[in-house]
């Protein structure tokens, strides 16, 4: 197997499991906490994020390598990326509404929220920092999104149970959810250092 | 709104992290040493004050339909300024906070204050709101840092005191590494928010009892 394919597989494994976006790197905690009360809405959010992260990685890579770097404007990365992402989310929303109404119905309410999801901006910035090429960027974006989906769906199914359980009054709701997420993160710690190649 | 009230709200009863539950990502990700916490807290406070002032000054100019996009651009501008300053003057801090400095752009505290306060109030009030909310955020970060650093590495003031090593409180081998790992972030914040909820309820009850006594 060529070294390049190995590097792609390495990115895939680390983005989904050993460096999970939420539980290890802390990107995208807000939607993780906000939209994880039910498993199916969590799945919807995960799909929407994966979708946008894949496209955003590609678009930000293009903007970075074709516009910012040739012009020597790397310091504008943050501003440029957030604008690209905001515009992209808007375009994706309009496109889905027009051409894939079924998917729009499923993702609809989650799409606008994604602009301020730090996982999306985070993936674009990390791609630029690590100097990934186009394919690596897209793979990192999509698999990072899959990692996000995995974590949020697992967490939602835990939370459906913890919400009904008895606990000290001050811990009700959010604090208990955080503790549960902590235990989940502990499980994911077992994967740290996992390297296949 | 009077000053004392605003200060109390920023610090406790409407603390951005502990009560409004905003800006969780950075709160958990970077609070492994006191230096990180103070640096991040101050950066966010500065950006929050600047963006609050500018947004409040422009609140009558920005068209309502594109206000969110306009806010994000303003915030991103200030974040870039702070990011470049840190890279130039405090490279150590910039290194250890990493991608979480540019990610301040999508920190919901800043956009939240822009939308909820700066877009409706005058410049001075918005600046003060930014300052108090920023202090509330910084205090929450510092508490997180102190707890996690103490339990996780057994030191106090890592990154600043004692030549960056921090002052050792627990002997080596006693502290649980777990607490400086991501797990510790979730657990500490969970307990801290529970504590804050208890305190807010307690103060509320006390105030009501006082009023009833009158």
| Contact pairs from chain A to chain B, CB under 8 Å | 114
3-class secondary-structure state, position B168? strand
Q: What is the pLDDT of residues B108-133, one digit of tens each?
A: 889 888 988 899 899 999 999 999 99
How close B150 gets to chain A, by Cα (Å)? 18
Q: Environment class of residue A102 by beta-carbon count within 10 Å: exposed (0-12), middle (13-18) or buried (19+)? A: exposed
A145-159 pLDDT per residue, tens: 999 999 999 999 998
The pLDDT of residue B132 is 93
At residue A190, φ and ψ (nearest 5 deg) are -60, -25
Average pLDDT, chain A: 86
- Over residues A34-51, the mean pLDDT reads 85
Provide the whole-model pTM: 0.87
Give the Cα separation of A61 and B58 in Å (integer): 33
Using CB atoms, which residue from B99, B183, B186 is nearest to A126? Answer: B99
Whole-number pLDDT of residue B163: 64
Our CA-based measurement puts residue B51 at a distance from the nearest CA of chain A, in whole angstroms, of 14
Q: Which residues contact A191 (CB under 8 A, 6 or more apart)?
A: A17, A18, A20
Confidence of residue B162 (pLDDT cuts 50, 70, 90): low
Residues of A with CB under 8 A from a CB of B: 23-30, 33, 75-79, 82-83, 86, 115-118, 121-122, 125-126, 129, 168-171, 174-179, 181-183, 185-186, 189
Q: How far apart are CA A132 and CA A119, in angstroms?
A: 17
pLDDT tens profile B127-153:
999 999 999 999 999 999 999 988 888
Whether residue A13 is predicted with pLDDT greater than 70 in this model: the reply is yes
Q: In whole angstroms, how far apart are CA B26 and each of A153, B99, B185? A: 22, 10, 10
Residue B6 in this model has a pLDDT that exceeds 90: no
Q: Tell the burial category of A153 from Cβ atoms under 10 Å away from its Cβ (0-12, 13-18, 19+).
A: middle
By CA distance, what is A22's nearest residue in B?
B25
> Inter-axis angle of helices A39-62 and A77-99, to 10 degrees?
120
Q: Report the largest interatomic distance among the alpha carbons of chain A, rounded to a whole angstrom.
A: 59
| Tens digits of residue pLDDT in A118-167 | 889 999 999 999 889 999 999 999 999 999 999 999 999 998 888 888 88
Query: Across the strands, what pairs with B155?
Result: B168
Interface TM-score (ipTM) > 0.90: no
Q: Are A145 and A120 in contact (CB under 8 A)?
A: no
Question: Which residue ranges make up each domain of chain B?
Answer: 3-213
Query: d(Cα B72, Cα B114) in Å, to the nearest integer?
Result: 10
Angstrom distance (rounded) from CA B167 to CA A154: 39
């Amino acid at each position: 197997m060529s070294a390049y394919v190995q590097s792609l597989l390495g990115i895939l494994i680390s983005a989904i499991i050993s460096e999970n976006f939420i539980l290890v790197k802390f990107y995208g905690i807000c939607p993780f906490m906000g939209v994880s009360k039910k498993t199916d809405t969590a799945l919807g959010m995960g799909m929407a994020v994966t979708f946008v992260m894949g496209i955003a990685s590609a678009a930000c890579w293009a903007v970075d390598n074709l516009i910012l770097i040739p012009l020597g404007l790397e310091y504008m990365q943050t501003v440029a990326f957030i604008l690209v992402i905001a515009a992209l989310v808007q375009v994706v929303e309009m496109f889905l509404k027009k051409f894939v109404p079924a998917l729009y119905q499923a993702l609809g309410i989650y799409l606008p929220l994604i602009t301020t999801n730090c996982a999306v901006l985070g993936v674009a910035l990390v791609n630029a920092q690590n100097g990934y090429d186009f394919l690596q960027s897209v793979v990192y974006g999509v698999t990072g999104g899959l990692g996000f989906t995995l974590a949020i769906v697992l967490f939602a199914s835990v939370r459906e149970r913890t919400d009904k359980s008895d606990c000290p009054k001050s811990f009700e709701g959010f604090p208990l959810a955080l503790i549960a997420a902590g235990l989940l993160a502990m499980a994911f710690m077992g994967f740290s250092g996992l390297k296949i190649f | 709104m009077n000053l004392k009230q605003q200060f109390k709200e920023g610090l406790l009863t409407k603390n951005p992290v502990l009560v409004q539950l905003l800006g969780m990502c950075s709160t958990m990700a970077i609070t492994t040493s006191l230096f990180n916490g103070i640096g991040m807290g101050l950066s966010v406070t500065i950006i929050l004050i600047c963006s609050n002032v500018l947004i409040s000054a422009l609140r009558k100019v920005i068209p309502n339909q594109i206000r969110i996009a306009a806010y994000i651009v303003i915030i991103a501008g200030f974040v870039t300024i702070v990011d470049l300053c840190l890279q130039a003057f405090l490279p150590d801090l910039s290194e250890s906070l990493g991608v979480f400095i540019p990610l301040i752009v999508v920190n919901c505290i800043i956009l939240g204050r822009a939308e909820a306060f700066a877009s409706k109030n005058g410049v001075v009030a918005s600046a003060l709101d930014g300052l108090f909310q920023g202090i509330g955020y910084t205090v929450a970060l510092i508490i997180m840092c102190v707890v996690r650093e103490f339990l996780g590495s057994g030191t106090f003031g890592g990154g600043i005191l004692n030549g960056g090593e921090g002052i050792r409180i627990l002997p080596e081998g006693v502290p649980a590494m777990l607490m400086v790992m991501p797990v510790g972030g979730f657990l500490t914040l969970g307990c801290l928010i529970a504590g804050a909820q208890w305190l807010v309820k307690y103060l509320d009850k006390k105030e009501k009892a006082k009023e009833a006594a009158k």
